[in-house]
Amino acid sequence: MIYVRNAWYVAAWTQDLEVEKPLAIDLLGEPVVIWRSQRGDIAALENRCVHRLAPLSLGRCEGDKLRCMYHGFLYSRDGHVSEIPGQDVIPASAKVKSYPVTEKHSWIWVWMGDPDKADEALIPPAVGFDDPNYILGRGHFDYAAEARLISDNLCDFSHLTYVHANSFGAGDDFAKTAPNIAALDRGVRFSRWITGTAGPAARSNDELIDAWSSYDYLIPGVLLMWSGSFKRGYAEECKYGPPQDLDDAIRGVTFTSQAVTPMTEKTSRYFFSWGPHVKHGDEALRDILMGVAGQAFAEDKTMIEAQQAILDKTETPRVLPSAHDRGVVMFNKLVERLAKEERSVDASAA
Amino acid sequence: MIYVRNAWYVAAWTQDLEVEKPLAIDLLGEPVVIWRSQRGDIAALENRCVHRLAPLSLGRCEGDKLRCMYHGFLYSRDGHVSEIPGQDVIPASAKVKSYPVTEKHSWIWVWMGDPDKADEALIPPAVGFDDPNYILGRGHFDYAAEARLISDNLCDFSHLTYVHANSFGAGDDFAKTAPNIAALDRGVRFSRWITGTAGPAARSNDELIDAWSSYDYLIPGVLLMWSGSFKRGYAEECKYGPPQDLDDAIRGVTFTSQAVTPMTEKTSRYFFSWGPHVKHGDEALRDILMGVAGQAFAEDKTMIEAQQAILDKTETPRVLPSAHDRGVVMFNKLVERLAKEERSVDASAA
Amino acid sequence: MIYVRNAWYVAAWTQDLEVEKPLAIDLLGEPVVIWRSQRGDIAALENRCVHRLAPLSLGRCEGDKLRCMYHGFLYSRDGHVSEIPGQDVIPASAKVKSYPVTEKHSWIWVWMGDPDKADEALIPPAVGFDDPNYILGRGHFDYAAEARLISDNLCDFSHLTYVHANSFGAGDDFAKTAPNIAALDRGVRFSRWITGTAGPAARSNDELIDAWSSYDYLIPGVLLMWSGSFKRGYAEECKYGPPQDLDDAIRGVTFTSQAVTPMTEKTSRYFFSWGPHVKHGDEALRDILMGVAGQAFAEDKTMIEAQQAILDKTETPRVLPSAHDRGVVMFNKLVERLAKEERSVDASAA
C-alpha cells in the first residue's frame, strides 16, 4: 500500500476516547495505542512493549503515564520507559515510538510521518461537534478492504446512481454528467449544480430548486462536503460557480465530514458525521439523515468488500478507468507524488 | 489442481437460478456470474467488472443485459460492455470472459474450456426433474475440501461399509468384494450384483432378492447411478451381466445424479438428487431416501473435510492405494490424460 | 519453534480419554490419535491413515486395534496395518508412526522423540487425582499462541502483580522482589518466602504468617508448585531456605500441576489442576481456588494471545529482557541446549 505518511490520520472520535481507557488501533499497519489522562492530555505510542511485545493498550493509566500490565513497565508520554519493576537501571533503548497526536473537530488525529513536520495547519477543516452551526450525528464502519478502494469510491460519486439507488436515490442523469473537478494543494475539489430539481429523494419538495453540492477530498483521505438548496435560477446568477453566500440557501444546508483510515493492508476504518445547518433543520432531521447515511454507507461497504474479495482472487488486477475516474486518478496521483517526495527526502537525509 | 477444462461443470440447480437474480459461483478458481433474463435466457460471464473489478453478481438485470451496480457499466450476454455512463466511446477492451452455459436435466452447466469445443452432446445424461419416470429430491453441500477428494470417494464405494455404517448400512462383506469396473470414453463404470440379499438397510424385505446397482462416474465429476431389486436367480439368468430389462425389476428401482464442482483449490460444491422410479415408490419413499442421503452425505463431508485438514498439515502427502482404488486410479488417470491433451493442443495452437 | 523432542508431553487429562473414544491432538505440529481399549490399554499413533490420509481419530476401536472408518484399514497398537478390506497382501510400508504413551498422575503423556529413549523416570512428578493428600480440581484452556509464550509467562511470576491484579492479587512489592532461582537438571526452581503477610488475597487472615511457595518448571513445560503458610518467624528458623517439614505448615498448603503443550506453531493447550492439602481444606476451598484460577488463567490467555497478535504484526520481533527474566532465560537456554544435543545425536546417527 502506498500512503502519504506526513499527514494527520483520523484514529477515533473524540467521544470514543474515554479518560484512562487506552484505545488500540492499527494505523498504516503499525499498532498504536492512544490514551487520555485524567488531566485530559492525550498521547499516542507504539502499541508494543519493549519487554516482550505485549500490547500497551491492555495497560493501566497512572497519572499521565501508561503501565504495561504484563510485567509492569511504565511508559511516559514520549515513549520512554520510566520504571521497570525489580530493576534499578533503565537501558536507553527502553523506549517505543511516540506519535504526534492531537484533537480537533471532534476527531483524534495521529501524524504517521516525520514528527518534526507535524503541522496542525495540515489538519483538514472538518466540522466537529463543537461547531454551533451544525447539528451532527456520527458513526464508523470497519471495512475488510484496503483504504484506497474507499477513497476511489469517494472520488467518483457516479456510484450514487447505482450503489445507492435505494438510499440516496440519485437518478440516472446524475451518473451521465460530471461534476466540476479542481486540483487543490492537498486534495481534489468536486462541485456541481443540479438546476431545477426537486432535491434529494429523502427531502424532496414540490418547489423546484437549484441544488449545490461541493466536497473536498483531502490527504490522507478526508471528505468534507456541504450541500444546499437555492432558489431556481440562482445557479445561473452565480454563473454556475460556487454560491455567493451560504446564507442565500433557502433550505437543505448540510455538512458531512468523512475520514478513511488505513489500518492494515486490507482493513480500514471509515468515520463519518452528517447533519443539517441549525437554520435548516433540527435533531429530527439529523436522525433522518443518519438513517439514510447508515443504509447508504452499508451499501458502499457491501460493494467495496465484494470488490476486495474479487481483487484477492485476481492474479494481476487491471482496471479500465472511465471518464468519471478523473477525480480518482487526480487524487491517486497526488498520493503517489507526495509519497514519492517523502521517500526521496528520506533517502537524501540518509 | 488438475482439472479437465473442456467439460460441462454443474454450477447450480435450475430451480435455484431465479429470474433476474444473478448467481455467483467460483468455478475452477474463476469467479463466474450466471443470470436468467425475464425472457428466460441464461448467460454466464466472468464475475469481475472491467472497470474496477466489482462483482457483476451484485448487478441488476436489464432486459437480457446485466448492469454492474458500482458505476453502471452495462454488459451484453457475450461479455461486451455496451454502455458506460458518462462516456460516449466504449473501448474495444471493455469486455469480460463469456462462458458457454446451458440448462439440461435440471442443472445449469458451464463449459470452462475452449468455447469452440463446447458440445452439448458431452453433457452427462443425468436424470432431472423433467424426467417423468422418477420422483426426485435434491440438495447440495459446500465442502471445505478439494473436489478431487470427493471424486476419489465416489470412485470407491468400499467406504459405504465404514463411513456409512449408520446410514446406508452396507455390511462388512460389501467392502470385501469389488464391483465390476469398466472404462468408458469419458468415465468409469462400476456395477455389481449382490445376490440373495434382503436389500438395502433402509428398505430391506423378508423376501431375498438379487440387488443390482450400476453407476457411471463421468468427466468432469458426475455420478449417475441406478439400482433395482430383481427376483432371486435373476443375476444368474443375466450371467451376472447387466439386467436385460429394467422392467424386470420387482422393486426398489431408484436413480441418483450427483455432481462435484471444484470452486477453488480447496472448496467444492456437491449437488445431488435421488428418488424412486414411479413404478417403485412415491413422494413418501423419496423423502425417506432423501433423509438417508442427507445423513450419509453429511458423513462423507465430515470425513473428507477432516482428510483435507490432515492433508494441509502434511508436508509431502503420499497415498498407499489399495485394491479398491482401481476405479479411483482409472478416473484420475483419465482426468490427467484429458488435461494433458488439452494443454498440448493449447501449446501447439500458440 | 524449538522444542525438546525427547520429553513427555501432556496430551490429555486421564479422565478425558474415555474407553474406545479416540482423541485427536496435534503435538509439536504432528497429528496424533490416542485411544484407550476396552481392556484399558492406551496407544498413540500418527493420526493419518496410510491409505488416503484420513484421520484415524474418526475411527472405530476393535479390541486393542483401531479401524480407519474411511475404507476400513485396521491398525495395531504399534502402527502396523493388520487388515485391508478387499486385499489379501499388506505391504510392509503400511504403517504409521507409533508414539510411546503412558498414563501417570492423571495425565496422558506422549513421548515425541526417539522411542528407544522413552524413559518413564523423566515424567515430571505431578500431583494427580490418585494422590490422597490433595483435593484437586482441573481444567484446560486452548491458546491461539505459541507454547513458548506461555512458558515465558510461567517462568516470571512478576506478572502476578499486573496481569492478576484482580484475581491472585499479589501487591506491588511482589513484583519488586525476585524469587530464589536455581537450575535443575531438567528445569528451573523458583522459591520464595514472604514474611509477615496476611496471606493470599482470596484466603487472607488476621494472623500474620510467613508464606512459602516453590515451583519447578520442568522440560518440556510442566509447572509443579506447592505453597503453604507457616507461623511468623518460621522462614528465619529455616534460614530462609525451604521449610524443614511440610507438616510444619499451619494452614494454606496447596498444590498445583500445570502443563503447556505445543500443538502447532501458534496453538497450545494449557492443562492445570489445583487444590488444598487434605489437612488444610476441603471440596469447598478447592472450588474457591478453582474459581480464582479460572479467572486468573483467563487473564493470562487474554494477555498472551494479545502478545501473539502483536508478534504477528512485527517484522523482526526483539525483546528487552528485564531482571525478572532470569528464570525465563535459564529455561529457554536449557530448551535450546537439549534441543541442540538431540539434533547433534541425530546427525551423528545419520
At residue C221, does pLDDT exceed 70?
yes
Question: Cβ separation of A72 and C165 shorter than 8 Å?
Answer: no
Cβ within 8 Å of B, A 251-270: none
Are residues C157 and C220 in contact, defined by beta-carbon separation less than 8 angstroms? no
Question: Cβ separation of C53 and B317 shorter than 8 Å?
Answer: yes
Of the candidates A54, A60, A84, which has its C-beta nearest C307's C-beta? A54
Of the candidates C58, C60, C91, which has its C-beta nearest B306's C-beta? C58
Under 8 Å CB-to-CB from B260, ≥6 apart: which residues? B147, B150, B151, B154, B220, B221, B222, B223, B268, B269, B270
The pLDDT assigned to A321 comes to: 95
CA separation for the pair B229, B247 (Å, rounded) = 11
DSSP code, position B89? -
**Of the candidates B277, B272, B271, the residue with the CA atom closest to the CA atom of residue B256:** B272
Locate A311 and state its grid cell.
Answer: 481483487
Which position has the grid cell 436515490?
A169
Type of residue at B261: T
How far does B183 lie from chain C, in Å, by closest CA?
21
Cβ of residue B201 closer than 8 Å to a chain C Cβ: no
Are residues B234 and B244 in contact, defined by beta-carbon separation less than 8 angstroms? no
Locate A258 and state its grid cell.
Answer: 468523512
Which chain C residue has its CA at the smallest distance from A84's CA?
C322
Length of chain B (residues): 350
Are residues B271 and B137 in contact, defined by beta-carbon separation less than 8 angstroms? no
Question: Cβ separation of C48 and B161 shorter than 8 Å?
Answer: no
Cβ within 8 Å of B, A 93-152: 152
Of the candidates A29, A52, A84, which has its C-beta nearest C319's C-beta? A52
pLDDT per residue as tens digits for the range A89-102: 999 999 999 999 99
Cβ of residue C84 closer than 8 Å to a chain B Cβ: yes
At residue C206, does pLDDT exceed 90?
no
How far does A87 lie from chain B, in Å, by closest CA?
44
Q: What share of chain A in percent tops pLDDT 90?
A: 91
Beta bridge partners of residue C191, listed in sequence order: C180, C214
Q: How many CA atoms lie within 13 A of C85 on its CB side?
A: 24
Of the candidates C53, C68, C85, which has its C-beta nearest B319's C-beta? C53
Preceding peptide of B132 cis, ω within 30°: no
Beta bridge partners of residue A101, listed in sequence order: A110
How far does A169 lie from chain B, in Å, by closest CA?
13
> ∠ CA(C8), CA(C11), CA(C13), 5° rounding?
115
How far does C319 lie from chain A, in Å, by closest CA?
5
Alpha helix locations (H) across A100-182?
147-154, 172-176
Cβ of residue C56 closer than 8 Å to a chain B Cβ: no
pLDDT per residue as tens digits for the range C156-169: 999 999 999 988 87
CA dihedral A137, A140, A146, A150 (to 10 degrees): -20
Of the candidates A48, A67, A70, which has its C-beta nearest C159's C-beta? A70
Q: What is the mean pLDDT of chain A?
A: 96
Question: Cβ separation of B322 and C71 shorter than 8 Å?
Answer: yes
Cβ of residue C192 closer than 8 Å to a chain A Cβ: no
Are residues C229 and C247 in contact, defined by beta-carbon separation less than 8 angstroms? no
Whether pTM > 0.80 for this model: the answer is: yes
Are residues B242 and B210 in contact, defined by beta-carbon separation less than 8 angstroms? no
Question: Cβ separation of C324 and A93 shorter than 8 Å?
Answer: no
Which residue in A153, A162, A174, A190 has the most chain B C-beta atoms within 10 A of its own C-beta, making it the best mutation to test that interface?
Answer: A162
Helix C326-349 to helix C147-154 angle, to the nearest 10 degrees?
Answer: 140
Query: Using alpha carbons only, how large is chain A's radius of gyration in Å?
Result: 22
Q: With beta carbons under 8 A apart, name residues in chain A contacting C165.
A: 69
A338 phi and psi angles, rounded to 5 deg: -65, -40
Preceding peptide of C262 cis, ω within 30°: no
The pLDDT assigned to B202 comes to: 63
Q: With beta carbons under 8 A apart, name residues in chain B contacting C55.
A: 306-307, 309-310
Beta bridge partners of residue C51, listed in sequence order: none
Q: With beta carbons under 8 A apart, name residues in chain C contacting B177.
A: 86
How far does B29 lie from chain A, in Å, by closest CA?
8
CATH code for residues B137-334: 3.90.380.10
Stretch C218-229: mean pLDDT, rounded? 97
B331 phi and psi angles, rounded to 5 deg: -65, -45
Under 8 Å CB-to-CB from C29, ≥6 apart: which residues? B313, C1, C262, C263, C264, C265
At residue C350, does pLDDT exceed 80?
no
Cβ of residue B86 closer than 8 Å to a chain A Cβ: yes
The pLDDT assigned to B350 comes to: 65
- Helices and strands (H, E) in chain B, number of each type: 5, 18
Of the candidates B152, B320, B324, which has its C-beta nearest C94's C-beta? B320
How far does A26 lie from chain C, in Å, by closest CA?
10
Question: Cβ separation of B29 and A156 shorter than 8 Å?
Answer: no
Domain ranges in chain A? Answer: 8-122, 137-334
Which chain B residue has its CA at the smallest distance from A156's CA?
B71
CA separation for the pair C280, B104 (Å, rounded) = 78
Cβ of residue C12 closer than 8 Å to a chain B Cβ: no
Q: How many CA atoms lie within 13 A of A196 on its CB side?
A: 1
Type of residue at C152: D
CA dihedral B203, B204, B209, B213 (to 10 degrees): 40
The pLDDT assigned to C170 comes to: 82
Stretch C39-51: mean pLDDT, rounded? 98
Cα distances (Å, whole numbers) of residue B24 to A309, B6, B99: 12, 21, 13
DSSP code, position B227? E
CATH H superfamily, domain C8-122: Rieske [2Fe-2S] iron-sulphur domain (2.102.10.10)
Q: Give the ipTM.
A: 0.95
Question: Cβ separation of B162 and C69 shorter than 8 Å?
Answer: yes
pLDDT per residue as tens digits for the range A320-336: 999 999 999 999 999 99
Question: Cβ separation of B303 and C58 shorter than 8 Å?
Answer: yes
As averages over each run of 10 residues, the pLDDT of chain B (350 residues) reads 94 98 98 97 98 98 98 98 96 97 98 97 98 98 98 97 90 91 98 89 79 97 97 96 95 97 98 98 97 97 98 96 97 97 83
pLDDT per residue as tens digits for the range A198-250: 877 667 778 899 999 999 999 999 999 999 999 999 999 999 999 999 999 99
Which residue in B304, B313, B319 has the most chain C C-beta atoms within 10 A of its own C-beta, making it the best mutation to test that interface?
Answer: B313
Cβ of residue C1 closer than 8 Å to a chain A Cβ: no
How far does B340 lie from chain A, in Å, by closest CA?
23
Question: Cβ separation of C85 and B321 shorter than 8 Å?
Answer: no
How far does C298 lie from chain B, in Å, by closest CA?
28
How far does A147 lie from chain B, in Å, by closest CA?
14
pLDDT per residue as tens digits for the range B114-143: 999 999 999 999 999 999 999 999 999 999
pLDDT per residue as tens digits for the range C247-263: 999 999 999 999 999 99
Question: Cβ separation of B175 and C68 shorter than 8 Å?
Answer: no
Give the distance, in angstroms, between the CA of residue B103 and the centroid of all CA atoms in the same chain: 14
pLDDT per residue as tens digits for the range B233-291: 999 999 999 999 999 999 999 999 999 999 999 999 999 999 999 999 999 999 999 99
